Amino acid sequence: MKAKESPKNKMLIKILKDGPYLVTGAIPLYEQIIITDDAGHTRELIDNEKYPVQETYTLCRCGESENKPFCDGTHSKTGFDGSETASREPYIEKAETFEGPELKLTDAHEFCDHSRFCLRAGGIRNLIKKSDDSEARQTAIEEAMICPSGRLVLWDKKTGRPFEKEFGKSIVLIIDPQKDCEGPILVRGGISIESADGSAYETRNRVTLCRCGKSENKPYCDGSHWMNAKQKLEFRKKWGLDEK
């Protein structure tokens, strides 16, 4: 008989009111870098670092910690407003639908973290229009499956099944060299996310959480890290880049 999961070892991300993400259950933590091709299109995420496994840890949500990615309590000194504003409506109910000959795309734009994986080869919407072409179909599938935020989900019209990678439960800190910034927190493999009020967000295979503190769709990322000048300076210093 399978042992019952105890609260102590449950894999969970708990959002603390106006504070960090409390991670429990020894969830693996990685750092990955966005890689671009010769044309400047984002193509893949590659591993850069794996952090030592910890049963419990707190990840900075305000963007001001001096011990990133971990919380150091700075949020309590700066008056960080971590109010959760994201809709609780299920993904499929708020997503727009676009169809091609063989593929269907569902798109909930409010989840977009602006990682730009969907722009290659003319963009995913154009690709699904010609999804009876094998090359266009394969490129569309690749773009949808690597979309970190889960904004885009591609479906096989014949089987009705989505194209999804099988992730082990893990958390990834995304680095975006092209935009000179630290990107969002990628949550993979269906990890439960609990609001500060104790309610649960929809559990999905992939979502991105804000870690700059600027998103207007908290707890999810909305791409606001691009606009954070302080983080850009910190990023360039961390990676040894000359200031522009």
Read off the pLDDT band of 238 (50, 70, 90).
Answer: low
| pLDDT value at residue 8 | 57
**Span 33-55, average pLDDT:** 90
Residue holding tokens 């984002």?
42
Q: Which residues pair with 42 in a beta bridge?
A: 36
| Pairing mode, strands 21-24 and 56-59 | antiparallel
By percentage, how much of the chain surpasses pLDDT 90? 74
Please give the residue that has the higher pLDDT: either 148 or 226: 148
| pLDDT value at residue 121 | 87
**Span 189-201, average pLDDT:** 97
By percentage, how much of the chain surpasses pLDDT 70? 89
How far is residue 174's CA from residue 206's CA, in Å, rounded to a whole number? 13
Burial of 3 (0-12, 13-18, 19+ CB in 10 A): exposed
Alpha helices of 23-169 — where are they, by DSSP H? 74-78, 91-94, 124-129, 134-146
pLDDT at 58 over 90: yes
Give the chain's mean pLDDT: 90
Read off the pLDDT band of 95 (50, 70, 90).
Answer: very high
Q: Which residues pair with 155 in a beta bridge?
A: 104, 162
**Span 49-69, average pLDDT:** 96
Nearest alpha-carbon partner for 229 in 59, 63, 72, 40: 63
pLDDT at 243 over 50: no
Q: Model's pTM, two decimal places?
A: 0.87
Read off the pLDDT band of 181 (50, 70, 90).
Answer: confident
Q: Which residues contact 119 (CB under 8 A, 6 or more apart)?
A: 41, 42
Read off the pLDDT band of 241 (50, 70, 90).
Answer: low
| pLDDT value at residue 55 | 97
Read off the pLDDT band of 128 (50, 70, 90).
Answer: very high
Measured in degrees and rounded to the nearest 5, phi and psi for residue 111 equal -85, -5
pLDDT at 37 over 70: yes
Task: Convert the pLDDT of each residue in 143-156 to its tens digit.
Answer: 999 999 999 999 99
